A and B are shown apart, each in its own frame.
Chain A
Amino acid sequence: MTLTDLLKSEAAFRAEVRDYCERELPARVRAKVRAGLYLEKQDYLDFLHSLIPRGWVAGHWPRAWGGCDWTPMQRFIFEEESAVGGAPWLIPFGISYVGPVIFTFGTAAQKERFLPPILASTEWWAQGYSEPGAGSDLAALKTRAVRDGDHYVINGQKIWTSYVQWADWIFLLVRTSDEGKRQQGISFLLVDMKSPGITIRPIKTMDGCHHVNEVFFDNVRVPLSSLVGEEGGGWKYAKFLLSNERVIAAETGKSMRHLEHLTRLVEAGSHRAEDQAVFRRRIAQLELKLHALRAFCLQAARQMDPATPPGAEASIMKIRGSELQQAIAEATMEWLGPQALAYDPAQVNAERAQSHAGLAETPGFIREYLHGRAATIYGGSNEIQRNIIAKAELGL
């Protein structure tokens, strides 16, 4: 394909995604996303169900498992353009994380049992990785699974577990051995959240919302068939899982939407001419950073061979993507001035935007700032990403 043809086909796919956003994305969900409101489980489900007719719930999966065989570029375009158009985050735990692990390493029975409900969005998955003593140093995890006849018995605690309050299933990294290297004693289990002995404790974050939790496992018995792949192979599957995230870590679509918001706010502020001049330059600088990040993602997606292991590009996208999100949110808070202080969590845990001070969307902007402080911490902190690049790319 010539370069011109390639660019044309990319533009055509982008137009398709835009068309979906305008015609099929539920308007109620789009309005909540644009206003920065906290989304309920039903909001995510309505979004996922609206993708089913086009087969886009898991477009990046192989056709054999119900996907569309999207190239990395198509996946990038979908994630970006749908976010610009007001679609929620495509929660990755089932679709992007455990799904590909199951169709790559799972048994025939696991594939048959778990893949169809992910595609139909009838089962919600959560990710059980971090523990109180195992954050950046994930291999230090202590939650233990011990064989007892034809069962594993799980004891321990997970933390920062996103949306597990809605989950039907959770995939866990557990310790099954203390022999050899720490990484070699880790296994990957699929656990029914209805199993007796599981307790959830919500953790309220500073935006006043319920995103994350602690999960306690007290003699939870699961069949041996819950194991994915080999016992002791969990670290390998966890790394494979992360490699699936490389093109979408930058969240460029979300930053585009937020920067458009900020631009609209500033342009509406003609009574603050001096501030306007300062913020127009600041917006131009943010636009330029976004331009560079997008150029990086587009070049990387175009050159990416899905079969090769990830290089530094995913880490670069994560670092710059999260830094940019935060910079846009910081600029928005500064523009809002004292209005940025009027924050009542009830107004963001609501169906409709409302505000005690300023425009109705104001609490949503504040919430994006508060929640956004997590972006440089989760998914491998930016410091860990820099360690990865130093070692893998620079040989340091």
Chain B
Amino acid sequence: MKRDQYFDDTDAALADAAHRYTRERHAFDKRQKLPAGERRFSASAWKEMASMGWLGVATGEDEGGLGLRVSSIALLAQAAGQALVNEPLLSTGFIAPDIVMRHASAEQRSRWLARMNEGALRVACVFAHAASPVQARAGQLHGRQEVVLDGDIADALLVQASEDSQGGKHRWYWVDAAAPGLKRSAYPLLDGRGAATLEFEGCTAEALDAGDSAHPALLAALALSADAVGAMEAAMALTLDYIKTRQQFGAAIGTHQVIQHRAVDMFIRLNECRAVLAQATQSLQAQPDAAARDVHGAKAFIGEQSTLMLQEAVQLHGGIGITDEYALSHYLRRVIADDQLSGGHEQHLRQFAAAPSIR
């Protein structure tokens, strides 16, 4: 039996291309030499990703995409985490098209999706926060949202707003980034990606069809989990390489049992995370009844375990592990961001525990 049964030939081809591309064109040392703006977002890299079809894995075939391919999203997100891709794959490539496919009219789809697919339109997604919901009143948005991933470089926003004052009854809205009544303050995230705080002050917005599918939020949680697993894989390789070569007291530090067992614990965490990710991917693709539990479970488990593993990796590296010029510290920062974006592991643990269990 082949690994990961839900992978098909399209996945294999995408995975192959992604690994070749990130290895040859997106190497860490090369990216580090770019000016800061380009490290955050490289227009040429973005164009190449679009041309490889990476932005079409959540878009319908009638709309010029490949149809929703959960397995492809998981593997591309994993490759992005492994290669520290900062371009807005997650928002523009995966989640925004899923929202549009589920909630937009045919006319809206034809207006937006083709340009998103080719990378000409970058879209950030604002999910409703129970604590501070964005409100929709008479077609205008009111409210505030902090730390919106890719909000710093987005041309447009998809905002999940509440249509009653209690924060319930959600509907998605499309907002042009230049719309009057929208204030945006952009800033970098600790891991090199970027975000914005958005203030909606009677901002003009275009409503999508009603209805409130849980799918985009689950897909976001899955993609962030996959991103973190990619970072863990890269960190495992770096750490093994380091403890096999770093000499102290006349021997490689990896010859000591105390170091070996800690490396083994990292390896176990990585393998468990791969398994929960595979299960969540499989469920979101083929077992809708089990999807909520499996995806929240993956986000909760990977969120916590990836941070623990990366902290161990930094410790095993010693001083070099905390420097900015070495990739490892970027992976630690990456998994911390992946954990917090779209809800930290404690939140997903509660959602996991509340979801029905099917065996």
Q: Which residues of A contact B (CB under 8 A)?
A: 3-4, 6-7, 14, 280-281, 283-285, 287-288, 291-293, 295-296, 298-300, 302-305, 312-313, 316, 319-320, 383, 386-387, 389-390, 393-396
Closest to B240 in A: A394
Most interface-central of A4, A300, A389 (chain B CB within 10 A)? A389
**Of B1, B260, B285, B349, which one neighbours A396 at CB under 8 angstroms?**
B260
Among B261, B279, B297, the residue within 8 A (CB) of A390 is: B261
Which residues 242-270 of B have a CB within 8 angstroms of A?
243-244, 254-255, 257, 260-261, 263-265, 267-268
By secondary structure, the A interface counts as helix
Is there contact, CB below 8 Å, between B263 and A291? no
CB distance from B89 to the nearest CB of A (A): 25
Q: B residues within 8 A CB of A3?
A: 5-6, 282, 285-286
| In the complex with contacts A291-B297, A291-B301, A303-B1, A320-B264 CB distance below 8 A | no
Residues B243 and A7 in contact, CB atoms below 8 Å apart:
no
Name the residue on A nearest B273 (C-beta): A292
A395–B244 CB distance below 8 A: yes
- CA A14 – CA B275 in complex, angstroms? 21
Q: Report how far A6 CA is from B282 CA in the complex, Å.
A: 12
Partner of B352 from the list A291, A293, A299, A390 (CB cut-off 8 Å) is A291
Task: Say yes or no for B278: interface residue by CB 8 A criterion.
Answer: yes
Considering only CB atoms, which chain B residue lies closest to A4 in the complex? B286
- Are B264 and A295 neighbours in the complex by a CB distance under 8 Å? no
**A-chain residues with CB within 8 Å of residue B294 when the two chains form the complex:** 291
Choose one: B243, B244, B254, B301; the contact of A292 (CB below 8 Å): B301
Q: Which of A6, A292, A387 contacts B257 (CB 8 A)?
A: A387
Given known A-B contacts A3-B6, A287-B352, A386-B264, A396 and B243 have beta carbons under 8 A apart: yes
Cβ contact within 8 Å between B244 and A396: yes
**A292→B272 contact, CB < 8 A:** yes
* Cβ of B299 to closest chain A Cβ, rounded Å: 11
Q: Give the CA-CA distance A393 to B263 in the complex, in Å.
A: 11
Query: Of A4, A305, A316, A387, which contacts B271 at CB under 8 A?
Result: A316
Alpha-carbon distance A383/B257, docked complex (angstroms)? 10
Minimal beta-carbon separation of A396 from chain B (angstroms): 5
Listed from nearest, the 5 A-B pairs whose CB atoms lie closest are: A284-B353, A296-B275, A390-B260, A295-B279, A295-B275
> Chain B 168-206, CB within 8 Å of chain A: the 1/0 string?
000000000000000000000000000000000000000
Q: How far is the CB of B266 from chain A (nearest CB, A)?
A: 9
Known: A284-B353, A387-B260. A305 touches B243 (CB 8 A): no
Closest Cβ–Cβ distance, residue B272 to chain A (whole Å): 5
In the complex where A316-B271, A319-B268, A396-B255 touch, is A386 in contact with B352 (Cβ < 8 A)?
no
Report the separation of the CA atoms of residues A285 and B273 in the bound assembly, to the nearest whole angstrom. 15
Contact residues on B (Cβ < 8 Å of other chain), bracket: 35 or more
Q: What are 14 A-B contacts with C-beta separation under 8 Å?
A: A7-B287, A281-B349, A284-B349, A284-B353, A291-B294, A291-B301, A296-B276, A299-B274, A299-B275, A312-B271, A386-B265, A387-B260, A394-B267, A396-B243
Q: Which residues of B contact A7 (CB under 8 A)?
A: 286-287
Complex formed: what's the CA distance from A298 to B272 in Å?
11
Within 8 A of A (CB), among B332-353: 349-350, 352-353
Docked pose: A288 CA to B300 CA in angstroms: 8
Contact of A316 among B2, B3, B268 (CB under 8 A): B268
Interface status of B359 (Cβ within 8 A of chain A): yes
Could you tell me the distance in whole angstroms from the C-beta of B286 to the nearest C-beta in chain A? 5
User: Are the CB atoms of A291 and B276 closer together than 8 Å?
Assistant: yes
Question: Which label, helix, strand, loop or mixed, suits the secondary structure of the B interface?
Answer: helix
Q: A390 to B287, Cβ gap below 8 A? A: no
Which of B260, B265, B276, B350 is the one whose CB lies under 8 Å from A284? B350
Residue pair A288, B349 in contact (C-beta under 8 Å): yes
Q: For the complex, what is the distance from the CA of A287 to the CA of B279, rounded to whole Å?
A: 15
Nearest neighbor of B254 in chain A, beta-carbon distance: A396
Closest partner residue, chain B, to A281 (CB atom):
B349
Contacts of B276 in A (CB 8 A): 291-292, 295-296
B244–A390 contact, CB under 8 A?
no
* Least Cβ–Cβ distance between B353 and chain A, in angstroms: 4
Asked if residues A383 and B271 are in contact (CB atoms below 8 Å), the reply is no
Collect the chain B residues with CB atoms within 8 Å of residue A312's CB.
267, 271
Contacts of A320 in B (CB 8 A): 268, 272
Given pairs A298-B279, A390-B257, A396-B243, 18 additional interface contacts (CB within 8 A) = A7-B287, A287-B352, A291-B297, A291-B301, A292-B273, A292-B276, A296-B272, A299-B278, A299-B279, A302-B5, A303-B1, A312-B267, A316-B268, A386-B264, A387-B260, A389-B264, A394-B267, A396-B255
- Give the residue name and chain of the B residue nearest to A72 (CB): B1
- Name the distance in Å between A164's Cβ and chain B's nearest Cβ: 33
Cα distance A298–B283 when bound, in Å?
13
- Find the A residue at minimum CB distance from B1: A303
User: What does the 1/0 interface line of B12-35 toward A look like (CB < 8 Å)?
Assistant: 000000000000000000000000
Residue in B263, B268, B282 whose Cβ sees the most chain A Cβ within 10 Å: B268
Q: How far is the CA of A295 from the CA of B244 in the complex (A)?
A: 31
**Complex contacts, B286 vs chain A, CB 8 Å:** 3-4, 7
Residues of A within 8 A of B254 (CB): 396
Check B263 against A288 for contact (C-beta < 8 Å): no
Q: Which residues of A contact B287 (CB under 8 A)?
A: 7
Residues of A within 8 A of B261 (CB): 383, 386, 390
A298–B287 alpha-carbon span in the complex (Å): 15
Residues from chain A with a CB closer than 8 A to the CB of B267 are: 312, 389, 393-394
Contacts of A300 in B (CB 8 A): 275
Contacts of A303 in B (CB 8 A): 1-3
B350 surroundings in chain A (CB, below 8 A): 284
In the assembled complex, the CB of B236 is this many whole angstroms from the nearest CB of chain A, namely: 9
Chain A minimum-CB-distance residue to B349? A284
Beta-carbon nearest neighbor of A385 in chain B: B264
Q: How far is the CA of A322 from the CA of B168 in the complex (A)?
A: 44
A295 contacts across to B, CB distance below 8 A: 272, 275-276, 278-279
A60 to B: closest C-beta gap in Å = 17
Question: Which residue of B has the minimal Cβ distance to A391?
Answer: B260
Q: Which residues of B, 289-314, contact A by the 8 Å Cβ criterion?
A: 293-294, 297, 300-301
With A and B bound together, what is the CA distance between A101 and B13 in angstroms? 43
A110 to B6: give the CA distance in the assembly, Å: 44
Max count, chain B CB within 10 A of own CB: residue among A284, A292, A305:
A292
- For A319, list chain B residues within 8 Å (CB): 268
List the A side residues contacting B263 at CB < 8 Å.
390, 394, 396
Interface flags, B76-95, vs A, CB<8A=1, else 0: 00000000000000000000
B2 to chain A minimum Cβ distance, whole angstroms, is 8
Q: Chain A's nearest CB lies how many Å from the CB of B156?
A: 36
A294 to chain B, nearest CB (A): 8
